[in-house]
Amino acid sequence: MSEEKQSSGFSWFLAGLGLGALIGVLYAPKAGKETREELMSSAREGTEYLKQKSRDAVDQVGDLVDRSKSQVTEYVGRGKEYVERGRAQWDEFVNQGKQYVNDQGSRVSAAVDAGRQAYQSSSNPPSDHAESA
């Protein structure tokens, strides 16, 4: 909103400058040639003032663009860092899950083998017991 006030103030300044020049011409006690030279000088000063303000605005915009670029670069770097950290955590979780599944698989296999041996030993009684009975 301050930019709107500045541009509005600048517009009023230019309007006042033009009105002042017009009144000056109408009530000028100087000769026509002197008045024209004075008007040309004022016009040159106004032109230089506008050129300087334009250069200042371009410099300010350039500074804003440079700051914005550095902030965007910083944010992109942070984002990449977070992604890499997340990826590393994900890989760690996947590896832990694989290890857990392998451990449980080994336990299940051992339990199945033990159950099979127990079944076989209970279904086939030793021959020594059968003969003595």
Residue 88: inside a domain, yes or no?
yes
Residue 38: inside a domain, yes or no?
yes
Residue 37: inside a domain, yes or no?
yes
Would you give the DSSP letter of residue 104?
Answer: H
Looking at this protein, which amino acid is placed at residue 44? R
Distance (Å, whole) CA 79 – CA 85: 10
Which two structure tokens, joined as six digits, stand for 100?
A: 């857990």
Residue 29: inside a domain, yes or no?
yes
Q: Which of 39, 8, 34 is nearest to 23 (CA)?
A: 39
Residue 116: inside a domain, yes or no?
no
Rounded to 10 deg, the angle between the 2-26 and 32-123 helix axes is 170
Which two structure tokens, joined as six digits, stand for 27?
A: 């009530």
Distance (Å, whole) CA 39 – CA 28: 11
Distance (Å, whole) CA 60 – CA 119: 87
Range of the domain at 34: 20-94
Which two structure tokens, joined as six digits, stand for 42?
A: 């004022």
Q: What is the pLDDT along the chain (133 residues), one digit of tens a residue?
A: 455 556 677 888 888 888 888 887 777 666 777 777 887 888 899 889 989 999 999 999 999 999 999 999 999 999 999 999 999 999 999 999 999 999 898 898 988 998 899 888 888 766 655 555 4
Residue 14: inside a domain, yes or no?
no
Spacing of C-alpha 9 from chain mean position: 35
Residue 53: inside a domain, yes or no?
yes
Q: State the pTM of this model.
A: 0.42
How many distinct structural domains can be found in the chain? 1
Residue 50: inside a domain, yes or no?
yes
